[in-house]
Chains A and B, each alone.
Chain A
Amino acid sequence: MTKPAKPTARLSQISGSEVPVGKKYGPYVHELTDVIASTWTKALNDKDPAYADDEAARKAGYSGRVAPPGTMTLHFLKAAMDAWGGMPVGMILARQEVDFHAPAHPGDKLATEFVIQTKTIKKDRPWFDLEMTTRNDKGQTVAVSRITWIMAH
């Protein structure tokens, strides 16, 4: 049975003109919780012994359980919503690149900051290229993402 989703959308009416090129946002800190890591593995059927078991993770060369790398996309989204007061209404994800650096672990408090790199107008809509960087509490870079978002206006 499909569980009901929470009806608490954080939507933003921010427009493209309020997002200037060169503007830096963040850092925004969010914990990569055990609940998130385990929910991800079940929801995406993204399984690996190193996600569930410290000993298996150490045998694989990690310091302890690691998080599924796809969870980094959650931190990128949260940073955008923190910066803009929610997801801009009508925004579309056009491209996303992610570089993976130091592993993230459940319990890590990850700080994400980003900068608006370019803005172009196509078919009357602003396209933004951003670069986001997520670091752990040791200051190590965990992931870098370059994202192209199309805003509605």
Chain B
Amino acid sequence: MARRFGAVKVGEVLPSVAGIITQETINDYADMSDDYNPLHVDPDFGRSTPYASTIAHGPIPMDFALQMLKQWIGAAWPTGASIKSKFIAASKPGDRITASGRVVRTEPASSRVVCEFTCENQAGERVIVGELECVLDK
């Protein structure tokens, strides 16, 4: 059921989405993107870097925020929506990433809704901060 603009309140909290990033998740992303940078897929190389580990491609943790938006608005493809992400810290294999968000602004003339979001790891460290925007039916 698609969410309607009239039912949205500023301050409303979006249902969070969480997931664990594994090395297999990262390897699958490498297979799909052809980005086999050893910093992502070679654990021995990763241990030799300041990260002391492989790290996930940035779009992997970002997808949890995108899933949160899709589930909240009730659309498999969020036509007219956007995600704005600032990457603050790396996500590593074993990290549990939780995307959380809340509505910060509504624009009745355009039925646009703006939400802030964060993606945090299991230690409560923010790895991504940003905004989600969508246009809902009246």
Contacts and interface: CB of A to CB of B under 8 A. Distances in A.
Contacts of A8: 36
B31 interface: yes
A133 B42 CA distance: 31
A26 B101 CA distance: 35
Given A5-B42, A40-B32, A95-B85, A66 B77 contact: yes
Contact of A44 (B19, B27, B33, B80): B19
B76 A60 contact: yes
A92 B84 CA distance: 16
Nearest to A6: B36
A83 interface: no
B59 A100 contact: no
A5 B79 contact: no
Given A39-B28, A62-B77, A70-B63, A78 B36 contact: no
A100 B78 contact: yes
Interface string B12-38: 000000010011111111111111111
Contacts of A50: 76-77
B77 A44 contact: no
A73 B15 CA distance: 24
A5 B128 CA distance: 26
A93 B27 contact: no
B82 interface: yes
Which are the 4 A-B pairs with shortest beta-carbon distances?
A: A73-B59, A50-B76, A43-B28, A5-B41
Interface of B: 19, 22-38, 41-42, 57-60, 62-63, 66-67, 70, 75-87
14 contacts: A6-B36, A6-B41, A44-B63, A46-B63, A48-B70, A66-B76, A67-B77, A68-B76, A70-B59, A81-B34, A87-B35, A93-B87, A96-B85, A98-B82
Given A39-B32, A68-B63, A95-B84, 15 more contacts: A5-B26, A5-B42, A6-B30, A9-B41, A43-B25, A44-B25, A44-B60, A48-B76, A62-B76, A70-B63, A70-B67, A93-B58, A95-B85, A97-B84, A98-B82
